[in-house]
Amino acid sequence: MADTGVVEALLLGLEKAEDGVDSLELSSSLGVEHQVVVGAVKSLQSVGEVISAEQRSSKHWQLTEEGVEISELGSHEARVFECIPVEGLLQSELMKLPFGKIGFTKAMSNKWIRVDKTSEGGPLIFRSVQTIVDQVREKLLNVLNGKDAELEEKEKSELKKRRLLSEVTVKSYWITKGSSFSTTITKQETELTPEMIVSGNWKDNKFKPYNFEAMGVPLDCGHLHPLMKVRTQFRQIFLEMGFTEMPTNNFIESSFWNFDSLFQPQQHPARDQHDTFFLSDPALTLDFPQDYLQRVKKVHTEGGFGSQGYKYEWKVEEAQKNILRTHTTAVSARMLYKLAQQKFTPVKYFSIDRVFRNETLDATHLAEFHQIEGVVADYDLTLGDLMGVLHQFFTKLGLEKWVEVGNSGVFRPEMLLPMGLPEDVSVIAWGLSLERPTMIKYGINNIRELVGHKVNLQMVYDGPICRLDT
């Protein structure tokens, strides 16, 4: 806080002044350090338009340490002159004095002294004039008293050369009255207090202005993960469209439900060790609906249900192998099979959950990701229905182009009829990954920056709410 006395003196001085005051002059007239006046200026600036201050810099001559000594004791040559008695002084004695050497040279060139080299005992020095005027000291005293303007530039530079004077730059303020100038400053309150509200003092108080350029304080709060926020929105979209959520909490699945029931042949490359995670423990599933399994075997091997089949030797051993499910369609297959065991009613199903691929990993592929899946089973669904539902779904996402991130189709009769669904029931379905649209939405190029333990928590902290349709 600034010295209130100085603040008051500044304001009083400014009131009297015609145009303004200089902070340096003020400090010398008040006899305080210049910094104290600067503090008062800063403090007044912070309370509004009381004063205005403009920074200026001025050049200014100052005595060096040696200059100060001379201003007090006289120049070296004057001191040499003073110490020479009438009977003279041995030069060797003079040279022992601290100012002797320089003083002798200068006094000689001033012709104030002379040397008698013929005397016995060494050269002897005498005064050669009666009185002298110590101009160097007088000039320095002038500078010291702020009257350096009386010196000529040449004189100043000579003194500078003798290292008695130096030139310094001084920063000061030119202070003038502000638009709301007043000699009395009311103390500004920083904040509204309960006491002010109770007493009503807030009506009379002035408040320190806020700095609206600064940021607020970071809050101590919890956050939801960006991908999970997107998942919530996708769930919302499906629910709005009347789709019921499937129970997908079974990561481990048998090859039968993941592949065979979907009429995917056993030699399909997706069933390769390089694409699918197989389990060593628990390695096999032995419990299948036997009559259904026989129908699946038949449709693969020899066809039926209007199909030629794949005409290969279908092996139950292959179907028994446990895997980490490669798509949530395995769950859709279980749900449709279950549906077929009852009297058929049309359904709409969806799920969003993890699936696993034993793929080569890169910037957009991880061993696990979330699959979004929608399924509609109804009598006589058409390709027009599939395209209509897809259109509605992607419109809700706000981007029709997103069709490109997924795939869609009509489930084959070879999949549906062995389950026992009526012949006139069609099932349409589509799927996409949750990560891909999220990465597009948030402009993330590397999937590792979005999911997994290596993500930067700052990304989670800074994430916006998810509004897919904007």
Using the rule CB under 8 A, is 341 a contact of another protein? no
**Are 129 and 31 within 8 A, CB to CB?**
no
| Window contacting another protein (CB under 8 A); options: 83-91, 156-164, 187-195, 455-463 | 455-463
Name which position in 2, 252, 399, 403 contacts another protein (CB under 8 A): 252
Structure tokens at 378: 């109804």
* CA–CA separation, 430 and 228 (whole Å): 21
* CA–CA separation, 227 and 441 (whole Å): 11
| Least spacing, CB of residue 34 vs another protein, in Å | 42
* CA–CA separation, 382 and 388 (whole Å): 10
Question: Which of helix, strand or coil describes residue 407?
Answer: strand
Site for another protein in 6-65 (CB under 8 A): none
**What is the total residue count of the chain?**
470
Site for another protein in 298-327 (CB under 8 A): 303, 305-312, 322, 324
Exposure class string for 381-400: b at 16+ Cβ within 10 A, else e:
beeeebeebbeebbebbebe
Q: 26 vs 389, which CB is nearer to another protein?
A: 389
**Are 249 and 326 within 8 A, CB to CB?**
no
**Are 99 and 76 within 8 A, CB to CB?**
yes
Using the rule CB under 8 A, is 458 a contact of another protein? yes
Query: Checking DSSP bridges between strand 244-245 and strand 347-356, what pairing results, if any?
Result: parallel
Using the rule CB under 8 A, is 292 a contact of another protein? no
Using the rule CB under 8 A, is 270 a contact of another protein? no
Task: Tell me the C-alpha to C-alpha distance, in Å, between residue 177 and each of 141, 180, 188, 316.
Answer: 36, 8, 19, 98
Exposure class string for 263-287: b at 16+ Cβ within 10 A, else e:
bbbbeeeebeeeebbeeeeeeebee
Q: 174 vs 251, which CB is nearer to another protein?
A: 251
Using the rule CB under 8 A, is 288 a contact of another protein? yes
**Are 206 and 197 within 8 A, CB to CB?**
no
| Torsion sign, CA atoms 445, 447, 449, 450 | positive
Name which position in 170, 224, 363, 440 contacts another protein (CB under 8 A): 224
Q: 163 vs 391, which CB is nearer to another protein?
A: 391
Q: 150 vs 240, which CB is nearer to another protein?
A: 240
Using the rule CB under 8 A, is 277 a contact of another protein? yes
Name which position in 17, 144, 196, 410 contacts another protein (CB under 8 A): 410
| Window contacting another protein (CB under 8 A); options: 1-9, 24-32, 191-199, 411-419 | 411-419
User: Cis peptide leading into 282, omega within 30 of 0?
Assistant: yes
Q: 112 vs 350, which CB is nearer to another protein?
A: 350
Q: 61 vs 257, which CB is nearer to another protein?
A: 257
Name which position in 44, 70, 140, 451 contacts another protein (CB under 8 A): 451
Question: Which of helix, strand or coil describes residue 69?
Answer: helix
Please list the residues that pair with 173 across neighbouring strands.
Answer: 55
Site for another protein in 414-443 (CB under 8 A): 414, 426, 428
Site for another protein in 194-223 (CB under 8 A): 220-223
Name which position in 146, 242, 398, 422 contacts another protein (CB under 8 A): 242
Site for another protein in 373-392 (CB under 8 A): 376, 378-385, 387-389, 391-392
Name which position in 138, 245, 400, 423 contacts another protein (CB under 8 A): 245
Using the rule CB under 8 A, is 395 a contact of another protein? no
| Least spacing, CB of residue 48 vs another protein, in Å | 37
Q: Count the site residues for another protein by CB under 8 A.
A: 91
| Window contacting another protein (CB under 8 A); options: 46-54, 64-72, 188-196, 408-416 | 408-416
* CA–CA separation, 426 and 267 (whole Å): 27
Question: Which of helix, strand or coil describes residue 200?
Answer: coil
